[in-house]
Chains A and B, each alone.
Chain A
Amino acid sequence: MSGADDQTLATSSSDDWTWLSRYTEARIALGRCGPGLPTSAHLSFQAAHAEARDAVLKPFDAKQFAADVTARNWPALAVHSRAVDRATYLQRPDEGRLLSLESEALLSEPRAPADVVLVVADGLSSRAVQVNALPVLEALMPLLAATGRRLSPIIVASQARVALGDHVGELLGASASIILIGERPGLSAADSLGLYLTWLPRRGRVDSERNCISNVRQGGLAPEDAAKQAAELIERMFLHQAAGVSLARLPQLPALDDGGA
């Protein structure tokens, strides 16, 4: 017999500096097998990517979401952008910024005037909306109602980009808009919601004219805190008749970060 029986088969080696991980969330000290990753690190990367991909690709159930909203006694309307499917949405941001002709007609029907329009949109993560949009609305709606400002029905939008809120706001003649939208998933979080606020939402607004509250999720910015920030921002916007960079120059206001949405 050779000595092979006594040997342990070579598999992976750990990196003996795992204590460095206390300083960063980065994937350090992963260990290795030859130049490759140990199987566990290799597969946990795949798991994180799979979660992000599924968050991007999973269709947004707008009807169900609108029903959940209506069940809380808030009126809701489901709309769709001009992007007919997910592949189009991903390649044609211009189509995701405009309402479909049918939705345009729906929002053009005569209705009560609104000061603030609220839009909930799938963006790049339908999962972010499914998980975090209702908790934000539950905290936000009472705060907005207390101001006495007239609110639009909650517009539930599919295949939508941030600027779809401008088209909605234009049709409803609103002074301000708040859009809750799924942010581009990262490997560490696939359910981050972003809130974008715009003064005089009209087609053609650019990103620097908005304020953004991002990374809204359990483990990030809590939905209740995001709602509080949004309500405060809305009051400042009505006070200064402005939003975006000019408003962000005031202390304590977040600057815009599009996040790819």
Chain B
Amino acid sequence: MGFSHTLGGTSYRFDDLRTLLAKATPLRSGDVLAGLAAQNAAERVAARMALADLPLRHFLNEAVIPYENDEVTRLIVDQHDGAAFAPIASLTVGAFREWLLADTTDATTLAAVSPGLTPEMVAAVCKIMRLQDLVTVAAKCEVVTRFRCTIGLPGRMSTRLQPNHPLDDPKGVAASILDGLMYGVGDATIGINPASDDVDTMMRLLDMIEALRLASNAPIQSCVLAHVTTALKAIERRAPVDLVFQSLAGTEEANRGFGITLSLLDEALAAAESLQRCPAGGNVMYFETGQGSELSSAGHCGVDQQTLEARCYAVARRYRPLLVNTVVGFIGPEYLYDGKQIMRAGLEDHFCGKLLGLPMGCDVCYTNHAEADQDDMDALLTLLGVAGCTYIMGVPGADDIMLNYQSTSFHDALYVRKVLGKRAAPEFEAWLGAAGISDPQGELRFEPARLMPALPLLDAK
């Protein structure tokens, strides 16, 4: 079966659902590279019109990647909640957009239908939405998660402190952490990307943060973003692992490229919970995603990169993560060419993740070979703040000296919190006050004496 739409006297045909979704996607370099993009602007809009007429029910009958071939598809189909879907079962994609935007659709309604949505339904409606639609609906979603801090409460915006160091030197990492804490950054997590993915490095860094946590009594949760198999080894050795991290893709084949399967992730979740470092009912997983990773690992299966990104969220939600973020501009211009494409993708990912019930953050970022700069990041950061983004990254001076790309800085976090009146997680905010990093009014003091309890980290070892 196929789909067709006539626009301006030209009839456009789309062979199947994955083709229709790909052709309807706003222009981006990755879909062109994969040979999936619409041939021209008119075909793109015709595809959107055909998509708008498609009943949501159709998505339950046609998979973009066959059930037999792909465990992500099987997860999507098997975890679909028909009762949650019932209230919107009669809608087309176009009517679903209007329903999402309606004033009568609030956070409670959205949370109730979320288990009834497949990632492909969410990707489809996303493709026919403007940026302001994506902002409006995402801002209505409420997703709250907990470890030592409560993340995602209304009026709050959290930050991951990202203190990377090219040699994984614990003192170098600690120096960046202290700088960030003075700026009130780190309530989502202190998350280090190790340059070297091995268990000894991971344990050295975790031990350092654990010492800082115990010395300062800060309600922080840490993460070394090594491969999940490295984290499993560290857990075996009883390392102080708070969050287990993994990069996800939206197809079984691309996940194999990442060295993971769903059963491996099941094992990781059980191992993380076995440490009992998180309060009961809390969340212990941390995932990162980003449009284009499936194409990059030759596992895209003919599906466009935005739809595949939404499929990552179906994988993520199985594990009730504390945090998920899209590393939107990291992958490079062959997937997202410029500031415009990066901005749209960041807001799409945030919207899709939130609608699928995830605590969605965004690494607002770019590489030096992309057509983008700090102005583009400011625009995306501000839009995401308005959209209620759960958290952003905090990198010293926006310059990650290990991964060699530009993200958001401690200053950027301060900016977005100030202009939008957003606050840190309540437990973290209370600790900043108790430690004297902020004053009784919640204003940061920037007094170096407040760093003193942490100094043994730098000099005593």
Which A residues fall within an 8 A CB radius of B? Answer: 13, 15-17, 20-21, 23-30, 32, 34-37, 41, 45-46, 48-49, 52-53, 55-56, 90-94, 124, 184-188, 190, 260
Contacts and interface: CB of A to CB of B under 8 A. Distances in A.
A17 B369 contact: no
Contacts of B333: 90-91
B446 A91 contact: no
B147 to A, nearest CB: 25
Given A16-B448, A17-B178, A35-B415, A26 B396 contact: yes
Interface string B252-266: 000000000000000
Nearest to A86: B369
Contacts of B164: 26
A27 B165 CA distance: 11
A61 to B, nearest CB: 20
A26 B172 CA distance: 8
Contact of B165 (A26, A56, A93): A26
Range class of the B interface residue count:
35 or more
A56 B448 CA distance: 40
Which of B415, B418, B448 lies at the interface centre, i.e. has the most chain A CB atoms within 10 A of its CB? B448
B368 A13 contact: no
B397 interface: yes
Given A27-B396, A91-B29, A91-B334, 18 more contacts: A13-B446, A15-B448, A20-B175, A23-B172, A23-B174, A24-B175, A26-B396, A35-B418, A37-B397, A91-B32, A91-B33, A91-B333, A93-B334, A186-B401, A187-B399, A187-B401, A188-B399, A260-B369
B194 interface: no
A4 to B, nearest CB: 24
A15 B172 contact: no
B458 interface: yes
Interface in B93-139: none
Contacts of B404: 184, 186-187
B171 interface: yes
Interface in B396-425: 396-399, 401, 404, 406, 409, 411, 414-415, 417-418
A45 B332 CA distance: 20
Interface string B18-45: 0000000000010011000000000000
A104 to B, nearest CB: 22
B170 to A, nearest CB: 9
Interface in B354-402: 367-369, 373-374, 396-399, 401
B175 A23 contact: yes
Contacts of A17: 178-179, 182, 448, 451
Contacts of B178: 17, 20
B368 A187 contact: yes
Contacts of B173: 24
A28 B179 contact: yes
Contact of B411 (A37, A52, A91, A187): A37
Contact of A36 (B166, B401, B411): B411
Contact of A24 (B176, B368, B448): B176
A185 B179 contact: no
B411 A32 contact: yes
B334 A30 contact: no
